[in-house]
Structure 1
Amino acid sequence: MTGRRIRAAVVTAVLAAGLAGCGIRSTEVPTDFGPAPSRVPCLMSGSSIASQSGSEVPVQVFLVCAAQLVTVDRAVRVHEGKATTDRVRIAQALLDELAASPSEGEKQAGFATDVRGGITVSGPARGEPEEAVRLSRPPQDLSAFALAQIVCTLADSAASAEDQTVIMGGPGGDPLRRYTCAPEVRSRPGSAEPPSETVR
């Protein structure tokens, strides 16, 4: 055996012993352990509802996570008001909740919201359907994600019409439209607009 072959044999033996000592089995076949775990699980480790008082109501709101709409449990305080209906108070509480910054746990799970604060809700004008709500900002001026969040959250609440649609418009004479939270809106809120039709 030449000197070169002797050195090669020694190196091979040392490497084999090192791998065995580390508990690593050498292999010539690539091993597939599947895709890496997602860094955006869209799952909360526990309930996101804070300690509730007697005046708080458990609700679900739709937040954005991994470019989809996902429900999150919240607790809202519905303020009393003589000049507003229950539907208007509920809708306002839900919009305020959507505009609130996600909790630290929600942020870590990948949740975000595109709804901005300052939007107020009022009831229908005379002659309009009683299920209607009017926003202080025209719905068509909202971002695609914000409109989808609002429509799906209201449709899944007591603020919706009997068929779980949302009759909504902007201020003044802005036309009322009936919105639907369709499955494609939940899965692709950035590109699929909530189906709607003008309410006459």
Structure 2
Amino acid sequence: MGVREGRGLVALAGIAVVAAVASGCGIRTTSVPVDAGAAPSRLPCSVSGSASGPGIATRAQQQPVPVRVYLVCASGLEAVDRTVPQTADKNPADGRLAVARALLIRLVAEPTETEREAGFTTSVQGPLAVSAGRDGDPEGALRLSRQPEDLPAAALSQIVCTYAENGTTADGGTVLLGGPGPYPVRRYACTEQLRERPDSAVPTRPAS
């Protein structure tokens, strides 16, 4: 037997051993591509520092108040830092409304360049306004210029979680929201599941 033939037999024997081991371990060869799921997102979804954001002018004598708003990133909701003007309203209801309006402006505004590079977007689109509840609404209720259920799910999720994050506009971690129509306000909750899947339906329960 020649040297080349001997080497060929050794190589064939090695291949046979590998195939036998794979078969013994329960490994099956396949020519069909295996779907291992979506690749992990490479978006950092994180920015350092705080930003006042566009859209609200502060007076020189006013100290800005730090707040947090929720933006969409990697199919979920992530909080980013913002500031709003400090309200001097003595009436708590007026102060609550002022903060709610400032937060809504922050949500409608486009994310900063740094935030966009980190993967942040907003689903809240204008024109959209918020006003105080009408007569007969529970205390602390807010009414949007559009029915909450008519908004895109992600946009409503952003609004609910942003208002729930800031105590001035929240009621025990929930938010009382209504629209311009003759419908009662409802209590919306920002849950962990909602932050993970803002495109899903926002949990609600009666306002009372």
For residue 187 of structure 1, what is the amino acid of its counterpart?
E
1:132 and 2:141 correspond: yes
Unaligned runs of 5+ in 2: 1-38
Distance 2:128 2:90 in 1: 20
- Pick one of 71, 75, 78 that aligns with 1:67: 75
Q: Secondary structure at the match of 2:69?
A: strand
Question: Offset of 1:39 from its aligned partner?
Answer: 3.1
Deviation at 1:65, TM superposition (A): 0.3
Q: Establish whether residue 41 from structure 1 lines up as the match of residue 51 from structure 2.
A: no
For residues 89 and 42 of structure 1, what CA distance do their matches in structure 2 show? 29
SS at match of 2:67: strand
Cα distance change, pair 78–113 in 1 and its aligned pair in 2 (3 A): farther
Identical counterparts, % of pairs: 46
TM-score (norm 2): 0.71
Give the structure 2 partner of residue 197 of structure 1.
205
Task: Please list every run of 5 or more consecutive structure 1 residues that lacks an aligned counterpart in the other structure.
Answer: 1-35
- After superposing on structure 2, the runs of 4+ consecutive aligned residues of structure 1 that deviate more than 4 Å are 50-53, 78-84
Whole-Å separation in 1 of the counterparts to 2:87 and 2:155: 23
CA distance in 2, matches of 1:90, 1:117: 18
Q: Contact 2:147–2:181 (CA<8 Å) still a contact in 1?
A: no
Q: 1:166, 1:175 → 2: CA distance?
A: 13
- Number of matched pairs: 162
Q: Distance in 2 between matches of 1:190 and 1:95?
A: 19
Indicate the residue corresponding to 1:114 in structure 2: 123
> TM-score, normalized by length of structure 1?
0.73
Give the Cα separation in 2 of the matches to 1:131 and 1:38: 39
RMSD between aligned alpha carbons?
2.4
CA distance in 2, matches of 1:37, 1:190: 19
Aligned counterpart in structure 2 of residue 159 of structure 1, from 166, 169, 181? 169
